[in-house]
Chain A
Amino acid sequence: MKIQEKLREIARKLLAGGEAGVVIGYAAGSEVSRVVPAFISREEDVDRLVWNPLCINNLVKYLLDYRHEPGKVAVVVKGCDSRAIVRLLQDNQISREQVIILGISCPGLINPDLVAARLDPEAQIKAVTTSEQDFSLQTEREIFTFTRDEALLEKCRYCEHHTPVISDFIIGEEIPPTTPLDPFTAVKALEELPVEARSAYWDKQFSRCLRCYACRNVCPACTCRECIFDQAEPCWVTKANNLSENMAFHLIRAFHVAGRCVDCGECDRVCPVNIPLSLLNRKILKDVKELFNVPTPGTSLEELPALGIFTNSDPDEFM
Chain B
Amino acid sequence: MKAYIMTGDNLGAWLDTLARDFTLIAPVKEEENVILFKPVKGFAEINLNYTNSTVSPKGWIFPQTEEMFYFSTAGGQINLTDVQAPRPAIIFGLRPCDIKGILTLDPVFNGAYPDPYYQNRRENTILVGLCCTRVERHCFCTSMGGGPTDGRGADLLVTEIDGGYGLEALTSRGEELIHRYQGYFTPDQHSRVILAREELGQKLAGQFTRTVDTTGVKEFLDQNFELPYWDEIARRCLGCGICTYICPTCHCFDIFDFAPDGERGVRSRCWDSCMFSHFTRMAGGHNPRPTQKERVRNRFLHKLKYHRDRYDLDGCVGCGRCVTKCPVNIDIRQIIADLQEVAQHA
- Which residues from chain A sit less than 8 Å from chain B, CB to CB? 29-31, 34-37, 39, 57, 62, 65, 116, 120-122, 208, 210-214, 216-218, 230, 232, 235, 238-242, 266, 269-270, 272-274
Contacts and interface: CB of A to CB of B under 8 A. Distances in A.
A242 B55 CA distance: 16
B54 A57 contact: no
A217 B137 contact: no
Nearest to A270: B327
Given A37-B236, A240-B268, A272-B242, A57 B258 contact: no
A218 B327 contact: yes
24 contacts: A31-B137, A36-B236, A36-B329, A37-B236, A62-B235, A121-B209, A210-B55, A211-B241, A212-B240, A212-B242, A213-B276, A214-B327, A216-B240, A218-B238, A230-B278, A238-B256, A239-B254, A239-B272, A240-B256, A272-B242, A272-B245, A272-B325, A273-B36, A274-B31
Contact of B137 (A57, A121, A214, A266): A121
Contact of B34 (A35, A208, A211): A208
A212 B334 CA distance: 23
B277 interface: yes
B46 to A, nearest CB: 17
Interface in B304-336: 323, 325, 327-329, 331, 333-334
A235 B260 CA distance: 12
A272 to B, nearest CB: 5
Name which of A30, A37, A213 has the most chain B CB atoms within 10 A of its CB: A30
Interface in B222-239: 235-236, 238-239
Nearest to B277: A230
Contact of A208 (B36, B254, B278): B36
A65 B235 contact: yes
B324 to A, nearest CB: 9
B149 interface: no
A24 to B, nearest CB: 9
Interface string B28-57: 001111101000000000000000001100
Contacts of A34: 329
A216 B239 CA distance: 10
Contact of A241 (B34, B137, B270, B325): B270
A30 B329 contact: yes
A213 B242 CA distance: 8
A30 B333 contact: yes
Given A57-B328, A217-B238, A273-B55, A212 B245 contact: yes
Contacts, number: 107
Given A35-B329, A239-B254, A239-B270, A270 B137 contact: no
Contacts of B161: none
B33 A214 contact: no
Nearest to A56: B327
A216 B327 CA distance: 13
Contacts of B55: 210, 272-273
A113 to B, nearest CB: 8
Interface string B58-87: 000000110000000000000000000000
B241 A210 contact: yes
Contacts of B33: 274
Contacts of A266: 327
Contacts of A210: 55, 64, 241-242, 245-246
Nearest to B333: A30
B210 interface: yes
A29 B138 CA distance: 13
A288 to B, nearest CB: 26
A238 B254 CA distance: 11
Nearest to A35: B329
B240 to A, nearest CB: 4
B273 interface: yes
A40 B241 CA distance: 26
A34 B54 CA distance: 19
A218 B237 CA distance: 10
A245 to B, nearest CB: 9
A30 B338 CA distance: 12
B30 A214 contact: no
Contact of A29 (B137, B238, B329): B329
B277 A121 contact: no
Contact of B256 (A57, A122, A239, A270): A239
A57 B137 CA distance: 21
A62 B237 CA distance: 10
A212 B242 CA distance: 5
Contacts of A232: 278
B34 A273 contact: yes
Contacts of B268: 240
B54 A273 contact: yes
Contacts of A218: 238, 240, 327
B58 to A, nearest CB: 13
A121 B10 CA distance: 39
B30 A208 contact: yes
A266 to B, nearest CB: 8
Contact of B54 (A30, A214, A235, A272): A272
Contacts of B209: 120-122
A15 to B, nearest CB: 17
Most buried by A among B238, B244, B256: B238
Nearest to A232: B278
Contacts of A31: 137, 331
A315 B133 CA distance: 59
Contacts of A29: 329, 331
B242 A214 contact: yes
A270 B329 contact: no
Given A212-B242, A217-B238, A242 B65 contact: yes
Given A37-B236, A39-B235, A121 B210 contact: yes
Contacts of B64: 210, 241
Nearest to B281: A232
B333 to A, nearest CB: 7
Q: Lowest 3 A-B CB distances belong to which pairs? A: A214-B240, A212-B241, A30-B331
